[in-house]
């Protein structure tokens, strides 16, 4: 697919497959950010039943509708989850000033073994988030390491983890499996994050701008090593990414250094 929409490129998709997130800094206009916090405080976001088609989920003029209509957000979401996702649920997450504790590291569901489909979680930060405000901690590249909800909560710090700091109006789109948690807010300011989870309704195959599919940078992005795992274990993560890239592109022969081809070779069997 090649269009004038602000779709992700293949290189950006490969980066998402390797890291588990796509970040859009300061993408939301100031007037929307200014409206958001009073509305979040007043609990004004419209209730949405599980599985409501995105096109019907949020009324015209609402903050989520305006957010999702931004071309960069719409294009990235379409690239990741297809054109007609449904809304799973949404929630406003607040970290209170000087609250004294952090949220344990977790994934947002029970073990989810899907390789050829994934949900997207949108996180919207209407205000500037500084290092002491309890920005969302996440572990890049952890999304394909399948875990059960808060079973990872006993890990306090992992090499390579990031604690989000950002300018106002930042949106991050994450793979549902990424390990994350709200950090302790040591500031005097309430920290807000509005999250929407989306489910795909059609195969997530070539939903982005594939005109650069053969760019060698795709394999380079998929081959990145993250510091939380040993060298050998990182190879398993690259193998997981090869499987995901095969599913996303429909190219069952895609490989990096023959790794997936070698272990699938079973001569004489169908």
Ligand X SMILES: O=C(O)CCC(=O)C(=O)O
Map residue 241 onto helix, strand or coil.
Answer: helix
Is 108 a binding residue for ligand X by CB under 6 A? The answer is: yes
Structure tokens at 224: 């990145």
CA distance 105 to 215: 35
* Residue from the set 10, 79, 136, 240 that interacts with ligand X by CB under 6 A: 136
Q: Name residues contacting ligand X, limited to 190-229 (CB under 6 A).
A: 193, 195
Q: Name residues contacting ligand X, limited to 27-46 (CB under 6 A).
A: none
Q: Is 23 exposed, middle or buried (0-12, 13-18, 19+ CB in 10 A)?
A: middle
Is 182 a binding residue for ligand X by CB under 6 A? The answer is: yes
Taking the least distance from each CB to ligand X, the nearer of 108 and 132 is 108
Taking the least distance from each CB to ligand X, the nearer of 125 and 254 is 125
* Residue from the set 15, 78, 90, 95 that interacts with ligand X by CB under 6 A: 95
Is 168 a binding residue for ligand X by CB under 6 A? The answer is: no
Is 175 a binding residue for ligand X by CB under 6 A? The answer is: no
* Closest distance of CB 42 from ligand X, Å: 19
* H helix intervals, the chain: 10-19, 30-41, 54-57, 63-69, 71-81, 217-222, 231-249, 259-264
Taking the least distance from each CB to ligand X, the nearer of 28 and 247 is 28
Is 173 a binding residue for ligand X by CB under 6 A? The answer is: no
Taking the least distance from each CB to ligand X, the nearer of 48 and 166 is 166
Is 185 a binding residue for ligand X by CB under 6 A? The answer is: no
Q: Is the dihedral of CA 112, 114, 115, 116 positive or negative?
A: negative
Is 119 a binding residue for ligand X by CB under 6 A? The answer is: no
Cα–Cα separations (whole angstroms), residue 260 to 57, 201, 251? 40, 28, 13
Buried b (16+ CB within 10 A) or exposed e, 180-209: bbbbbbebebbbbbbbbbbbbeeebebbbb
Q: Is the dihedral of CA 37, 69, 137, 87 positive or negative?
A: positive
Taking the least distance from each CB to ligand X, the nearer of 10 and 161 is 161
Binding site for ligand X (CB under 6 A): 93, 95, 103, 108, 136, 180, 182, 193, 195
């Amino acid at each position: 697919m090649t269009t004038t929409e602000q779709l992700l490129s293949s290189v950006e998709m490969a980066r998402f497959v390797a890291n588990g997130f796509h970040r859009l800094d300061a993408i939301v206009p100031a007037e929307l950010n200014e409206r958001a916090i009073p509305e979040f405080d007043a609990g004004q976001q419209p209730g949405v039943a599980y599985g409501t088609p995105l096109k019907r989920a949020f009324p015209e003029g609402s903050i989520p509708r305006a957010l999702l209509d931004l071309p960069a957000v719409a294009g990235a979401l379409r690239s990741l989850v297809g054109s007609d996702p449904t809304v799973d649920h949404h929630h406003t997450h607040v970290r209170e000033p000087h609250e004294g504790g952090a949220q344990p590291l977790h994934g947002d569901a029970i073990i989810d073994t899907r390789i050829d489909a994934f949900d997207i979680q949108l996180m919207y930060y209407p205000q500037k988030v500084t290092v002491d405000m309890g920005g969302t901690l996440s572990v890049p590249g952890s999304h394909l390491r399948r875990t059960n909800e808060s079973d990872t909560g006993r890990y306090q710090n992992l090499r390579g983890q990031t604690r989000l700091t950002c300018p106002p109006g930042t949106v991050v789109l994450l793979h549902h499996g990424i390990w994350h948690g709200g950090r302790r807010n040591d500031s005097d300011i309430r920290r807000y994050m509005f999250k929407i989870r989306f489910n795909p309704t059609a195969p997530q195959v070539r939903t982005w701008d594939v005109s650069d599919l053969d760019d060698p940078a795709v394999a380079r992005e998929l081959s990145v090593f993250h510091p939380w795992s040993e060298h050998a274990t990182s190879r398993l993560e690259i193998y997981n990414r090869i499987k995901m890239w095969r599913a996303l592109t429909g190219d069952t022969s895609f490989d990096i250094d023959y790794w997936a081809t070698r272990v699938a070779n079973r001569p004489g069997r169908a």
